[in-house]
């Protein structure tokens, strides 16, 4: 029998095999620094950062080596002490090459820190400035600059901050370990976000398959009467912003609108901790916490690694791959990106590296659509994936636009459920990119 059960959820969704058992009981390990780090100038949504260093410069860990370019951008700090080897175009986990600063690491492990601030007396503006300096980006996948999200704008009416503790992607256990190992600091991170935004109500949404974390969070939150730990049904994609808002606040975010439009701000557990570390410890975002898992890796682990560490080094540190390993994915299996070049680095928002075998990939041949309607049943935001995918295949982008393709959050729920094994989300993603480009052209015409 489950210790905690819930009926709070959203319409649709699926329940893929969890595979959490591979790593959920493994405490975080700190991986030794690599010999070289690759720091892409775009590790976030927004404009690339501008380099402040050149080949041959000595840098310290924690030093700003690229400044933010505009409002939606973040600075980048060196994640190791050492010497700038070059600035060149390197492959990134997105599959696209990007301008990057390559640093050869020295033996020194010291980090340049800012002075610690008292979380009880720190002013909202000081939190925002510290988070801006620290270069923090959202840990939930999108990598949006965090200081923008925690800085109130005129005419905004935010009533609640929700921390996403669902970690609904299979395999990933990084947020789970954070909630177990740094429970009090997660709550303090949430309080800092609430203070920064001037919001009086905070929630942590967590699925009912994590009883130990729920217990610890409830105990830690008990001393604050404005923070609730909300136990939610274990279902994918429960951690998506719109699904959390529906389950916790019973509000619908209309198509094309943002959580802000219904009075909510969502942050990830790892982001709350990065904010805590920046404010209370004076740390910039130079490490990434990630789960390395899958039956294709010899020693699954939860790791803290320096940003810029090549994927190949992480795999090697985890004992290497098994003979039947067949695919490497950055992120979770539902929304992650398959990798073809393991020299790509871990970036600020990397949450996992999965090494899957053929059996886990569950490869089946694609057949024609059975018109079963299952993809429509499970789409959490009420789209018609079968039509969207078809429009995309046929280059019918106006039709795809009319059927709201741009609203798709690329959660992969439709693809997971399709008995004909049609790569629906892959087609939809392509079509969405084309429609967004079309809309941009229309605006500039």
Which stretches of the chain bind ligand SF4, using CB under 6 A? Answer: 369-375, 379, 381, 383, 385-386, 408-414, 417-420, 422, 424-425, 428
Q: CA 292: distance to chain centroid?
A: 15
- To ligand SF4, the closest distance from the beta carbon of 309 in angstroms equals 30
Q: In terms of CB distance, is 292 or 408 closer to ligand SF4?
A: 408
Q: Which is nearer to ligand SF4, 62 or 140 (CB)?
A: 140
CB of 18 to ligand SF4, least distance (A): 19
Q: Which region holds residue 362: left if phi is over 0, alpha if psi is between -120 and 50, else beta?
A: left
Three-state DSSP class for 36? strand
Quick one: 28 or 427, whose CB is closer to ligand SF4? 427
Q: Could you tell me the end-to-end alpha-carbon distance of the chain, in angstroms, rounded to an integer?
A: 61
| Neighbouring C-beta atoms of residue 257, cutoff 10 Å | 12
Residues paired with 100 in a beta bridge: 40, 88
CB 42 within 8 A of CB 313: no
Residue 26 or 420 with smaller CB distance to ligand SF4: 420
**Least distance to ligand SF4, CB of residue 384, Å:** 8
Give me the least distance between CB of 374 and ligand SF4, in Å please. Answer: 4
> What is residue 174's three-state secondary structure?
helix
Nearer to ligand SF4, 122 or 376 (CB): 376
User: 375 by DSSP, 3-state: which?
Assistant: helix
User: Considering only CA atoms, which of 137, 144, 175 is closest in space to residue 278?
Assistant: 137
Least distance from ligand SF4 to the Cβ atom of residue 408, Å: 3
Q: What are phi and psi of 440, to 5 degrees?
A: -65, -45
- Give the integer Cα–Cα distance in Å for 90 and 97: 5
Cα–Cα nearest to 224, from 326, 301, 120? 120
* Minimal distance, residue 436 CB to ligand SF4, in Å: 14
Q: Nearer Cβ to ligand SF4, position 52 or 420? A: 420
CB closer to ligand SF4 out of 372 and 394: 372
What's the min distance (Å) between Cβ of 89 and ligand SF4?
Answer: 31
């Amino acid at each position: 029998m489950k210790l905690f059960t819930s009926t709070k959820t959203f319409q649709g969704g699926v329940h893929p095999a969890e595979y959490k058992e591979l790593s959920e009981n493994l405490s975080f390990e700190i991986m030794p620094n690599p010999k070289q780090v690759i720091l892409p100038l775009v590790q976030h949504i927004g404009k690339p950062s501008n380099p402040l260093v050149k080949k041959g410069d000595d840098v310290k860990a924690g030093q700003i080596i690229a400044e933010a370019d505009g409002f939606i951008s973040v600075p980048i700090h060196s994640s190791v002490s050492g010497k700038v080897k070059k600035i060149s175009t390197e492959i990134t986990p997105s599959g696209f090459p990007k301008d990057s600063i390559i640093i050869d690491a020295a033996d020194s492990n010291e980090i340049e820190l800012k002075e610690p601030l008292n979380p009880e007396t720190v002013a909202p503006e000081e939190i925002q400035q510290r988070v801006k300096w620290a270069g923090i980006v959202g840990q939930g996948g999108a990598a949006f600059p965090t200081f923008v999200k925690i800085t109130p704008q005129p005419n905004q009416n935010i009533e609640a901050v929700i921390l996403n503790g669902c970690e609904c992607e299979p395999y990933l256990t990084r947020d789970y370990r954070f909630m177990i190992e740094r429970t009090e600091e997660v709550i303090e991170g949430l309080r800092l976000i609430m203070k920064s935004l001037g919001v009086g109500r905070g929630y942590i949404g967590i699925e009912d398959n994590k009883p130990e974390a729920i217990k610890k969070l409830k105990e830690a939150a008990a001393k604050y009467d404005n923070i609730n730990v909300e136990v939610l049904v274990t279902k994918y994609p429960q951690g998506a912003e719109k699904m959390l808002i529906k389950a916790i606040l019973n509000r619908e975010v209309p198509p094309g609108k943002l959580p802000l439009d219904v009075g909510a701000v969502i942050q990830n557990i790892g982001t709350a901790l990065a904010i805590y570390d920046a404010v209370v410890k004076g740390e910039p975002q130079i490490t990434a916490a990630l789960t390395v898992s899958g039956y294709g890796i010899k020693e699954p682990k939860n790791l803290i690694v320096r940003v810029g560490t090549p994927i190949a080094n992480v795999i090697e540190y985890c004992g290497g791959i098994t003979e039947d390993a067949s695919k490497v994915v950055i992120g979770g299996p539902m929304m992650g990106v398959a990798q073809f070049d393991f020299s790509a680095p871990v970036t600020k928002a990397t949450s996992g590296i999965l090494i899957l075998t053929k059996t886990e990939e569950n490869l089946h041949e694609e057949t024609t659509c059975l018109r079963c309607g299952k993809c429509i049943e499970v789409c959490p935001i009420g789209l018609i994936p079968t039509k969207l995918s078809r429009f995309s295949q046929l280059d019918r982008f106006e039709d795809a636009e009319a059927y709201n393709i741009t609203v798709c959050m690329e959660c992969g729920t439709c693809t997971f459920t399709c008995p004909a094994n049609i790569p629906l989300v892959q087609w939809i993603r392509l079509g969405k990119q084309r429609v967004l480009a079309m809309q941009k052209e229309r605006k500039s015409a």
